[in-house]
């Protein structure tokens, strides 16, 4: 029989993983506790297994606990469960990319963190195409001995990360996703400021962005770098800096901040480093 799993916090991440664990028979989803009874029932319906509970006092002991709560609720949720005596001998893990497993203070329990590196905006789509998803893992060896094969059974690919560098690890995902969107937004707005219709601006930016991304992952960032900084054309860079700052001061500051980092990357390119 698969080990029992209780889920505390069943938003997009919690319910998606819950469904995958249930469908693949990895864990027997038992109790689901969220912010409201209504959302707990919705989560159970999505997962296709488990029992919705309204209060911590209704939770039964389980072999495994997944705390898929917001980052600021990880420590207090774990503390409340531990104080209730529910975590003795259990494996407890959270799914945060920004917080380390040390947030889980539960004497007598084995703790870990498993962070799937992808967007969960559409839980149905993620659940259907989870196979191949990378997950950053760290924590107690005992906890990971159980969780690693469980996540591999639902198609995850695991990479061990340094718990002490967890914040930097999460920042990497922010750079690769959120800030990439911010930079592309600046590009699109600059095209429009130059008189290009918005729908045409997207068509202009798309091949540049796609080709640059493809080159980064095919050749490495240094080899993929092109443009005025890579050529050492700092006269053009200065003119662009002034023009962008004159158009929109915040975007000008963004441009300026990127010059230093791009110059360092260009130096790596010149030296033949990746």
Confidence of residue 274 (pLDDT cuts 50, 70, 90): confident
Nearest to 240 by CA among 181, 175, 186: 186
Question: In whole angstroms, what is the distance from residue 158 CA to residue 31 CA?
Answer: 26
**Residue ranges covered by each domain of the chain:** 3-165, 177-270
Q: What's the average model confidence in pLDDT over 37-44? A: 98
Residue 139 backbone dihedrals phi, psi, to 5 degrees:
145, -165
Q: How many angstroms separate the Cα of 109 from the Cα of each of 78, 101, 131?
A: 11, 12, 29
Burial pattern 235-256, b for ≥16 Cβ within 10 A else e, equals eebeeebeebeeeeeebbebbe
Q: Please give the pLDDT value at position 273.
A: 84
pLDDT value, residue 163: 94
CA-to-CA distance for 230 and 264, rounded, in angstroms? 10
Q: Could you tell me which residues come within 8 angstroms of residue 46 by beta carbon, excluding any fewer than 6 positions away? A: 15, 18, 19, 123
Q: Which of 35, 176, 3, 222 is nearest to 15 (CA)?
A: 35
pLDDT of residue 134: 97
Residues above pLDDT 70, as percent of the chain: 100
Find the DSSP H helices in the chain.
12-23, 37-47, 71-83, 123-128, 141-153, 166-176, 178-193, 198-219, 221-224, 228-231, 234-247, 249-270
**pLDDT-based confidence at 111, cuts 50/70/90?**
very high
Question: What class is the 177-270 domain?
Answer: mainly alpha
CATH number for the domain running over 3-165: 3.40.50.720
Collapsed DSSP state (helix, strand, coil) of residue 222: helix
Q: Tell me the mean pLDDT in the region 248-273.
A: 95
Comparing 227 with 1, the larger pLDDT belongs to 227
């Amino acid at each position: 029989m698969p080990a029992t799993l209780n889920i505390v916090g069943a938003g997009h991440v919690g319910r998606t993983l819950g469904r995958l664990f249930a469908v693949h028979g990895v864990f027997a989803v038992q109790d689901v506790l969220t912010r409201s009874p209504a959302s707990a029932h919705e989560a159970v319906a999505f997962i296709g297994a488990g029992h919705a509970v309204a209060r911590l006092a209704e939770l039964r002991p389980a072999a495994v606990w997944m705390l898929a709560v917001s980052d600021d609720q990880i420590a207090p949720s774990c503390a409340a469960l531990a104080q209730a005596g529910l975590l003795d001998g259990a494996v407890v893990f959270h799914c945060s990319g920004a917080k380390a497993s040390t947030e889980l203070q539960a004497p007598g329990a084995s703790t870990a963190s498993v962070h799937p590196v992808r967007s969960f905006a559409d839980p149905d789509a993620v659940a259907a195409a989870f196979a191949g998803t990378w997950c950053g893992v760290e924590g107690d060896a005992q906890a990971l001995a159980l969780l690693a094969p469980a996540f591999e059974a639902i198609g995850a690919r695991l990479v061990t990360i340094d718990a002490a560098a967890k914040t930097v690890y999460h920042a990497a995902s922010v750079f690769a996703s959120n800030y990439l969107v911010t930079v592309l937004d600046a590009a699109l707005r600059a095209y429009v400021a130059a008189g290009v219709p918005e729908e045409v601006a997207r068509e202009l930016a798309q091949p540049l962005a796609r080709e640059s991304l493809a080159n980064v992952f095919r050749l490495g960032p240094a080899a993929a770098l092109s443009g005025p900084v890579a050529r050492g054309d700092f006269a053009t860079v200065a003119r662009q800096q002034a023009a962008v700052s004159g158009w929109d001061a915040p975007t000008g500051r963004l441009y300026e901040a990127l010059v230093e980092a791009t110059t360092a990357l260009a130096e790596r390119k010149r030296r033949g480093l990746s």
